[in-house]
Structure 1
């Protein structure tokens, strides 16, 4: 059984204000994201990817933007999904937020480097 114990695995700094921890199988990836640079005046630039994505807001509040959908104000306990190829983004509304994202297939771009 594969286990990632929170206190035993260091965060990877993606950029100032964003760090992550990753666990994955061959076709499924879960990513813990901690944002510490909010609130933001603007949303992140929209992006898309071929992966299907689900996200759980574990802490904080965000506005979720998804192509063709109304903007959604989400808080801890809420979830969203993103179909393959859809442009999407978030705007952090609180000083801190934790998101738990799952992707299939794997985000190889997250593993490179």
Structure 2
């Protein structure tokens, strides 16, 4: 589907307080992730994947943690990127947050 209307698209619950919505083509995926379970006392477990990733923080406040880089406190309007196979994670500082991730190639594990 070439259009995702936010209020008309059901979310997939990843875990309690974390929901995502997907839009994708053959080689590019955009994922809206809504968090309602913050703030967190600790960061989520670090992970890596072969996909290149960019992220726009549309709402909320997080700490972005990426292997080999200083931790960054990010607020709405900020962005980050993650190269392939680099360990990274976030820690939610606000009660809610919305991240808009883009992946290349697409995350087949999300479909």
Q: Distance in 2 between matches of 1:38 and 1:54?
A: 22
Q: Which runs of 4+ in 1 moved over 2 A?
A: none
Measured against aligned partners, the alpha-carbon deviations of 1:37-83 in whole angstroms (never above 9, x if no partner) come to 00000000000000000000000000000000000000000000000
The unaligned stretches of length 5 or more in structure 2 are none
Aligned residues: 111
Q: Distance in 2 between matches of 1:7 and 1:86?
A: 33
> What is the root-mean-square deviation in Å for CA atoms of aligned residues?
0.8
Equivalent residue, structure 2, for 1:80: 80
Q: Displacement of 1:28 after TM fit?
A: 0.2
Q: Distance in 2 between matches of 1:2 and 1:55?
A: 20
TM-score in terms of structure 2 length: 0.98
Q: Distance in 2 between matches of 1:6 and 1:27?
A: 22
Q: Distance in 2 between matches of 1:7 and 1:60?
A: 19
The unaligned stretches of length 5 or more in structure 1 are none
